[in-house]
A = this chain, B = another copy of it.
């Protein structure tokens, strides 16, 4: 850039932030060690424990008592449960509450709950007096293996999910698999769907381990759940470290999500995210096989495991009166409107085979991590149950 001779240029150097990383600590009964872990990783003059009302009712008093017994100053701030409350209004109310109780720049937030609590309380912490420390304490399986690692915070607007937020890495993430005992069965299954995704895209041995331990996982064997959480966190941590700001490589974690989001949207968000992703993985793997990107038989093997885990393995459009034609058209139209498709062809992150993601040689905006999928291939994959010979 050739400036005029009269132009001055001053370079402002921005050194990297102080916090270079964080630990995820996983162990049965670890909720009891929370005060010690929090004091070590996020020393603060005051803690705001932010939790949705049902989680606050279950664990709030125990967590507060623990913190106070350890000599720490803590308050419990609860908010109404549900994605519909992950809004700027709830964020503002929680911020105002922290101001009222006297939290300052040296205070910290403890996010206690599922993915909504992590996203919302994380965004409160990120924007409170230009950022205070946050400790993530996920209490659902899905939040443990997905939302709590990676530093994403966000709230929704009327225009869509997660449209407002920042990256704000936690100081420490504390996961106690014992709390999974109080979850409904569907919430466990929804978490398992994301674990299957990690196996498909990143680790064949892990996928095989889930196949071999499906029964133990469904009856919530603590040791099995602990291994599942640990391995999924390890895999996600490696992906996040390669792509901290979600610009490219993190796209592998979107396997199943392009179709899954469309299914959620089409169901008016009455369909559970994990269930939508389960069906989405089978459809996308079928599309990958059709494109020659994914090894034949991959979709069938994913489908078999999902059924073992009690998860839906197809969108099941065929049962509708028109055999799914109108629904399939609607779904493809929804995918085209997705914020990540940027007006181009629908694109998906796809496996090459179980345990390995496929890169494309024609780099897209995701630098080769996603594949353009033509509409007719999507319609084909949506219209046929997995594993039938017609797909090949």
Contacts and interface: CB of A to CB of B under 8 A. Distances in A.
Contact of A16 (B16, B29, B30, B339): B16
A164 interface: yes
17 contacts: A1-B36, A4-B33, A8-B25, A8-B26, A9-B26, A10-B26, A11-B21, A12-B21, A14-B151, A95-B164, A106-B342, A106-B365, A127-B127, A129-B164, A129-B339, A131-B166, A131-B167
Nearest to A33: B3
A292 B244 CA distance: 49
Given A12-B21, A128-B164, 5 more contacts: A1-B37, A3-B33, A17-B245, A106-B365, A129-B162
A163 interface: yes
Interface in A127-149: 127-131, 149
Interface residues of A, number: 78
Interface string A116-133: 000000000011111100
A185 interface: no
A126 B25 CA distance: 30
Interface stretch (A233-241, A268-276, A302-310): A233-241
B130 A237 contact: no
Contacts of A260: none
Given A126-B166, A127-B127, A129-B339, A27 B6 contact: yes
A376 interface: no
B28 A6 contact: yes
A21 B16 CA distance: 10
A157 interface: yes
Contacts of A126: 166
Contacts of A169: 12, 14
Interface string A200-228: 00000000000000000000000000100
A319 interface: no
A7 B25 contact: yes
Contacts of A163: 95, 99, 128-129
Contact of A1 (B40, B152, B159, B164): B40
A105 interface: yes
Contacts of A6: 27-28, 226
A19 interface: yes
Contact of A96 (B105, B128, B151, B157): B157
B21 A13 contact: yes
Given A18-B245, A99-B163, A164-B127, A9 B24 contact: yes
B130 A167 contact: yes
Contacts of A9: 23-26
A165 B241 contact: no
Contacts of A342: 104, 106
> Which 9 A-B pairs give the minimum distances between C-beta atoms?
A7-B27, A16-B16, A13-B241, A99-B159, A10-B24, A8-B26, A12-B237, A8-B230, A13-B21
A154 interface: yes
A88 interface: yes
Given A8-B230, A127-B165, A339-B129, A14 B21 contact: yes
Nearest to A15: B244
Given A14-B151, A128-B164, A3 B19 contact: no
A11 B106 CA distance: 24
